């Protein structure tokens, strides 16, 4: 099923919303491809059946497996060129980097080498950066939205803003309690930037199509504020990073059931700590062979 957002802009809705752009001469462009080969096959079948065209390019928003896991399958079947953001493109080429990053830069546990965290490797033909981009004669604006991943981008086409995972819907916020972030500092800037993008429709990576991104930005920012307040309360007394994470999990009722769930939350807590340290709200010190975090003294 296709959702029609304009003569050249369609969406294939699902667990991940996949964009479909229709260029001249039957050329098609996908925005993301979903998690698995099965997703990729269904996407190609829908695109071909509904338009009679063929996919010639993939615009990847960011290097999380659920967004690029189908790339290899689409490329195998179509020869499509893959466009990917700087920094994230390294993970597309070598997906083991993602669980490695989550595991503190070390050789990751076998239990982290799973489909949700470890996609099939994707070729990358062109690195994209913020600004104008022309693919198959379609003019596209690349929107930097760093934070959820190191180099996440969105794409603006004909007034439709594909905003990737800069905002997440209520259902995901409720399920994951504290969604994964690479950088809180960058993510906050991305939320502000997303509000400035002129558009008639917003297509998030997950959830329903939006008329405006503003309400979702507000919901996502309130969760960030709640996590920040809880963290600052936890570090009133010196706490290790493990103490901070355990405290946040208790306060938000999050109960990670396996290694992937836990190791998505651990670096997210670190992203909050790094941001608050950068803002002068927490101090960091090494003592007694441990790493401690503590709220900064209130300024008079």
For 103-137, what is each residue's pLDDT tens digit? Answer: 999 999 999 999 889 999 999 999 999 999 999 99
Sequence-separated (6 or more) residues with CB below 8 Å from residue 252: 177, 178, 227, 230
For 35-92, what is each residue's pLDDT tens digit? Answer: 999 999 999 999 999 999 999 999 999 999 999 999 999 999 999 999 999 999 999 9
The reported pLDDT for the residue numbered 300 is 53
> Global pTM?
0.97
The answer to whether domain 3-212 and domain 224-295 are alike in fold is: no
Radius of gyration of the chain (CA): 20
For 191-225, what is each residue's pLDDT tens digit? Answer: 999 999 999 999 999 999 999 999 999 999 999 99
Q: How confident is the model at residue 299 (pLDDT cuts 50, 70, 90)?
A: low
**Cα–Cα distance measured from residue 101 to residue 252, given in angstroms and rounded to the nearest whole number:** 24
Q: Provide the CATH topology of domain 3-212.
A: Metallo-beta-lactamase; Chain A (3.60.15)
The arithmetic mean of pLDDT across residues 11-15, rounded, is: 96
Q: Single out the residue of 180, 178, 171, 168 nearest to residue 264, CA to CA.
A: 180
Instruction: Give the residue, 185 or 115, on which the prediction is more confident.
Output: 185
Q: Residue 24 pLDDT more than 90?
A: no
Q: Which of 121-125, 171-175, 239-243, 285-289 has the lowest mean pLDDT?
A: 171-175
Q: Provide the CATH topology of domain 224-295.
A: Arc Repressor Mutant, subunit A (1.10.10)
Residue 19 phi, psi dihedral angles, 5° rounding: -80, 150
Q: Residue 9 pLDDT more than 90?
A: yes
Q: Residue 17 pLDDT more than 90?
A: yes
Domain ranges of the chain: 3-212, 224-295
For 138-175, what is each residue's pLDDT tens digit? Answer: 999 999 999 999 999 999 999 999 999 999 999 999 98
Supply the DSSP symbol for 120. Answer: P
Q: Looking up tokens 């690479």, which residue turns up?
A: 182
Angle between helices 71-78 and 37-51 (to 10 degrees): 50
Q: Residue 99 pLDDT more than 80?
A: yes
The reported pLDDT for the residue numbered 155 is 99
Supply the DSSP symbol for 298. Answer: P
């Amino acid at each position: 099923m296709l959702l029609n957002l304009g003569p050249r802009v369609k969406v294939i809705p699902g667990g991940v919303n996949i964009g479909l752009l229709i260029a001249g001469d039957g050329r098609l462009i996908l925005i993301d491809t979903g998690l698995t080969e099965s997703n990729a096959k269904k996407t190609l079948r829908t695109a071909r059946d509904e338009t009679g065209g063929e996919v010639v390019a993939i615009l990847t928003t960011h290097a999380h497996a659920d967004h690029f896991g189908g790339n290899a399958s689409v490329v195998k079947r179509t020869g499509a060129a893959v466009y990917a953001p700087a920094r994230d493109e390294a993970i597309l080429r070598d997906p083991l980097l993602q669980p490695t990053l989550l595991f503190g830069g070390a050789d990751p546990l076998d239990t982290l080498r799973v489909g949700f965290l470890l996609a099939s490797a994707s070729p990358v033909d062109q690195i994209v950066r913020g600004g104008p981009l022309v693919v198959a004669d379609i003019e596209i604006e690349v929107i930097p939205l760093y934070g959820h991943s190191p180099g996440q981008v969105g794409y603006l086409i004909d007034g439709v803003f594909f905003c990737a995972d800069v905002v997440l819907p209520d259902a995901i916020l409720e399920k994951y309690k504290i969604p994964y972030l690479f950088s809180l500092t960058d993510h906050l800037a991305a939320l502000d930037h997303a509000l400035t993008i002129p558009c008639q429709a917003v297509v998030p990576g997950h959830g329903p199509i939006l008329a405006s991104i503003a309400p979702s930005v507000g919901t996502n920012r309130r969760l960030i504020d709640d996590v920040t307040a809880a963290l600052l309360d936890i570090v009133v007394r010196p706490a290790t990073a493990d103490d901070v994470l355990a405290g946040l999990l208790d306060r938000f009722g999050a109960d990670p059931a396996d290694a992937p769930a836990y190791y998505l939350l651990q670096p997210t807590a670190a992203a909050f700590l790094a941001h608050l340290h950068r803002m002068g709200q927490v101090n960091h010190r090494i003592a007694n062979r441990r790493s401690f975090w503590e709220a900064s003294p209130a300024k008079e």
